[in-house]
Structure 1
Amino acid sequence: MADESDARYLTTAEVADRLDIKPATVYAYVSRGLLTKVPTSDRRGSRFREDEVSRLARGRRPGSGPRGTVDDITTEISLLDRDELYYRGHNVADLVAAHRVESVANLLWTGELSTPATQFTAPPEILAATRAAVAALPAQARLSDRLRVAVAVAGATDRLRFDLSPEGVLRTAGILLAVELDALTPTPPTSGTLAERLWPALTDHPPNIPLLDTVLTLLADHGLAVSTVAARVAASARVHPYGTVSAALGALDSQYHGGASTLAHRFLTDAITDPLGAVSERLRLGGPLPGFGHLIYQQTDPRADLLLTTLRTIPAATPALNAIDTLKSQLATPLVALPNIDLALAALMHTYNMPPDAGEAIFALARTLGWLAHTLEEYTEPPMRFRPTRPQAPQ
């Protein structure tokens, strides 16, 4: 077998040429774990193993060019690289330290780190319609169910929903966020920051607004996750923003995506009482441990690290954090022992006695910011670019 030193490396430009893609797509492949970027000594360039690029080239469908498949989506919105997360070139750790989530939303939508001048609001007639629809839901409806109903009804009520200009989408963004906040609690605050208005829907505990603001920023975008791809495919058909967010909310409603924090919450409930017993039971039943491991990150989920580090300053988080520390020390491999953002959300929920599905609601509201950014970006691409074409039958 060839030694590591025998490997040949390609530059970003050479990889793009070999795969017949744009240079920006190379970094999209890195974000999705399809390519591994090898650090250089001066950190000014990037290189990639030629054998890895060759395997990827062989696996691509003949005739797949820069359009038509999910793997070929390029985005400037976020990047996952070397176990770090960036929004438009800004490390998310730097953003949470210096900026509110409203400014981060503006960065995702417009590229500018500025705070919107106005509150996120919705016209009274839209709020009246969404409140009536949400009120009709049965008592067992989850928080995420309330969000999906509210977004769909708001879209049906807004007569300007097909204004797909950047200005129109930003107007709709304000309505969407107001409607989502309103749907989560019967008496929502009508003013304040996103975190201030969301907190009462999650818990009766005294508010920790900086912490929730941090969580919203950490969850705002994460590359081409399945819900984001759903939003982009809808946007490629020029579906209005209510529809793209509805498509994303539908894709989010699964055990592998939006529901993962609820599974992690249940697992952590058992682990707080008996960590090894909780692991033993999961191993007996089969399947992965909820809240551990990640498809992209190799050593650490930076979002989980930031949230768990912040929780360590809060005494009420000690039982959950002790359980997580015990689990990490007992699990066999570094990848399996990697706590992800779903487990960190579960720890947040336990710290403030939030309902088990609160993580799904936080996730959905925060990721709405990213879905809208991807909707705006997709509107600049050729329409219907994901429509598959059938090969012509032989004559």
Structure 2
Amino acid sequence: MKDQAASGDGPGATAAQRLSTRETAERLGVKPETVYAYVSRGQLSSRRAPGGRGSTFDAAEVDALARRTGRRDPSPTADLVFRTGITLIEGDRYYFRGVDATELARRYAYEEVAEWLWTGDLRPGIRFTAPDEALAAARRAVNALPAHSGSTDRLRVAVIAAATADPLRFDLSPGAVLASARSLIPTLVEALPLAGGTSSTGDVADEEADGSRAGLARRLWPKLTAQPADEPSIAALDTALALLIDHDLAASTLAARVAASAHAHPYAVVSAGLGVLEGPLHGAASGLAHRMLTEVLERGSAVPVVADHLRTGRRVPGLGHRLYVSEDPRARTLFDLLADIPQAAPALAAARDVVTTTARHAPLHANVDLALAVLSVSSGMAAEAGETVFAVSRTAGWIAHALEEYGERPLRMRPTGQYGGPRPPQPLPTVTGEPLR
């Protein structure tokens, strides 16, 4: 192994050891320019070298990135691998059960794509319906939250409330799990308040369209914005929901599979996924992109906004993805639809400006968070709207993975910790200033 003695990649390596840009590039098997692209994406952290010439990188962090990207032979501590028949990501494209996911999302509604993901059967025209008892419980719980609560707070509470209304939630047979999923997803949407903070009880969405017949995107729209819904915008939202249903073993999906491995019921599986999704590096990432695009529109150019991010060491939101070399196919699909919506033109131009400006520093492409931000900014939605779309959509993916995991050996995800604390035996601890009793 190259540079082991110099860089400390052997058994005696410590976190304090630093690598130069050249050493980091060699260890990752990439060009130095790509190293800085990893920094811009937030996948590596850098520190100025003594004297201010060049950057240095933590050897352990570089090795961890090498294992994730497959740039070198995996070590015994490499990421776990799970067999799955749901999503394949390959060659800058992704597939649901072997079918191009972007084509499915363009052609079919969210509920139809969800059914395909769960069962491998396409059911044209299927619509999910929220049971009265579960919806009433969820709305009461959501409406009791403080006014400043975020959408993910409301969704988590709605999941718990809906679970209490389902006495069959502990039945993990495929039919029962699917029945729970088909009722939970519309319950989550219809329990949310209307945009502007109006209570969800008896809201106009129910009055304007029969919830049993209206597609999920149309029912979600008034929860995200007070702007009237037009067909191109509804189509873009529906496509976004379908595109985001699953993306292999993302962090929230792994959490959902861990819960399912313990035979947690589907509502608990979704709760586990929501807990991880709320992080700024996952579902909430589109909110950062939303705020950035808003600032670009206010300042009239992406140049000062991108410069501010780079100057303060922040990654530019909405750019780069560890699984794609070129543009995220989900972003490309949404951008195509948004280009046909006149009111989206300014935000779409701002997003393109961000990509072009950042390309001067690093070869990064747009990801789906930037596309979601274009949709939310151009539609008068709040910054957290993309996170709401992400959470509602991905619920179907978590259920798909739960169905797979229920068929595996229970509790198989039990890694062994590498203990680094004091070696026993150690004396019993004492409380400072107080005698032991």
* Class of the TM-score when normalised by the shorter of the 2 chains: 0.7 to 0.9
Q: CA deviation at 1:75?
A: 1.0
Q: Does 1:88 align with 2:97?
A: yes
Q: Which among 274, 280, 284 is matched to residue 255 of structure 1?
A: 280
Q: CA deviation at 1:33?
A: 6.0
What does the per-residue CA deviation read over 1:107-134, in whole Å, with 9 as the maximum and x for residues that have no partner?
Answer: 11001122375x4223322222211111
- Answer with 1 or 2: which has the greater Rg: 2
Q: Does 1:202 align with 2:224?
A: yes
What does the per-residue CA deviation read over 1:319-359, in whole Å, with 9 as the maximum and x for residues that have no partner?
Answer: 11211222222223696431111011000011111111111
Change (3 A) 1:334 1:222: farther
8 Å contact from structure 2 (residues 319, 355) kept in 1: no
- Give the partner amino acid of 2:327: T
Q: Structure 1 CA distance, aligned partners of 2:186 and 2:323?
A: 33
Q: Structure 2 CA distance, aligned partners of 1:335 and 1:342?
A: 18
8 Å contact from structure 2 (residues 110, 239) kept in 1: yes
Q: Structure 1 CA distance, aligned partners of 2:140 and 2:221?
A: 22
Q: CA deviation at 1:166?
A: 0.4
Q: Structure 1 CA distance, aligned partners of 2:170 and 2:87?
A: 26
Q: Structure 1 CA distance, aligned partners of 2:95 and 2:187?
A: 28
Gaps of 5+ in 2: 1-66, 194-199, 419-437
Moved more, 87-96 or 331-340: 331-340
Give the structure 1 partner of residue 136 of structure 2: 128
Q: Structure 2 CA distance, aligned partners of 1:96 and 1:123?
A: 26
Q: TM-score, normalised by structure 1?
A: 0.80
- Give the partner amino acid of 1:99: Y
What does the per-residue CA deviation read over 1:74-102, in whole Å, with 9 as the maximum and x for residues that have no partner?
Answer: 11101111110111101122212322221
Q: Which among 223, 234, 257 is matched to residue 232 of structure 1?
A: 257
Give the structure 1 partner of residue 87 of structure 2: 78
Give the structure 2 partner of residue 29 of structure 1: none
Deviation beyond 6 Å, 4+ runs, structure 1? none
Give the structure 2 partner of residue 7 of structure 1: none
Q: Structure 2 CA distance, aligned partners of 1:169 and 1:206?
A: 35
Give the structure 2 partner of residue 56 of structure 1: 73
- Give the partner amino acid of 2:275: G
Q: Does 1:110 align with 2:119?
A: yes
Change (3 A) 1:122 1:94: closer
Q: CA deviation at 1:205?
A: 2.3
8 Å contact from structure 1 (residues 261, 291) kept in 2: yes
RMSD of the alignment, in Å? 2.2
Q: Which among 145, 161, 177 is matched to residue 169 of structure 1?
A: 177
Q: CA deviation at 1:261?
A: 0.6
8 Å contact from structure 1 (residues 327, 337) kept in 2: no
Q: CA deviation at 1:276?
A: 0.9
Give the structure 1 partner of residue 365 of structure 2: 338
Q: Structure 1 CA distance, aligned partners of 2:99 and 2:397?
A: 15
What does the per-residue CA deviation read over 1:347-386, in whole Å, with 9 as the maximum and x for residues that have no partner?
Answer: 0011111111111100000101111100101111110000
8 Å contact from structure 2 (residues 109, 238) kept in 1: yes
8 Å contact from structure 1 (residues 220, 367) kept in 2: yes
Give the structure 2 partner of residue 301 of structure 1: 328
8 Å contact from structure 1 (residues 299, 334) kept in 2: no
Q: CA deviation at 1:34?
A: 4.1
What does the per-residue CA deviation read over 1:192-247, in whole Å, with 9 as the maximum and x for residues that have no partner?
Answer: 11111111111122323222111111111101000000000000000000000000
8 Å contact from structure 2 (residues 111, 128) kept in 1: no
Other structure's SS at 1:278 match: helix
How many residue pairs are counted as aligned between the two chains?
A: 335
Matches within 5 A, 1:299-338: 299-332=326-359, 336-338=363-365
Q: Structure 2 CA distance, aligned partners of 1:332 and 1:141?
A: 37
Q: Which among 153, 156, 176 is matched to residue 161 of structure 2?
A: 153
Q: Structure 1 CA distance, aligned partners of 2:383 and 2:259?
A: 30
Matches within 5 A, 1:263-274: 263-274=288-299
8 Å contact from structure 1 (residues 236, 381) kept in 2: yes
- Give the partner amino acid of 2:287: T
Q: CA deviation at 1:174?
A: 1.5
- Give the partner amino acid of 2:312: L
Q: Which among 352, 358, 373 is matched to residue 379 of structure 2?
A: 352
Give the structure 2 partner of residue 216 of structure 1: 241
What does the per-residue CA deviation read over 1:287-339, in whole Å, with 9 as the maximum and x for residues that have no partner?
Answer: 21011111111111000011112111111111112112222222236964311
Q: Does 1:373 align with 2:396?
A: no
- Give the partner amino acid of 2:224: L
Give the structure 2 partner of residue 244 of structure 1: 269
What does the per-residue CA deviation read over 1:5-42, in whole Å, with 9 as the maximum and x for residues that have no partner?
Answer: xxxxxxxxxxxxxxxxxxxxxxxxxxx9644xxxxxxx
8 Å contact from structure 2 (residues 142, 192) kept in 1: no
Other structure's SS at 2:351 match: helix
Q: Does 1:97 align with 2:124?
A: no
Q: Structure 2 CA distance, aligned partners of 1:344 and 1:165?
A: 37
Q: TM-score, normalised by structure 2?
A: 0.73
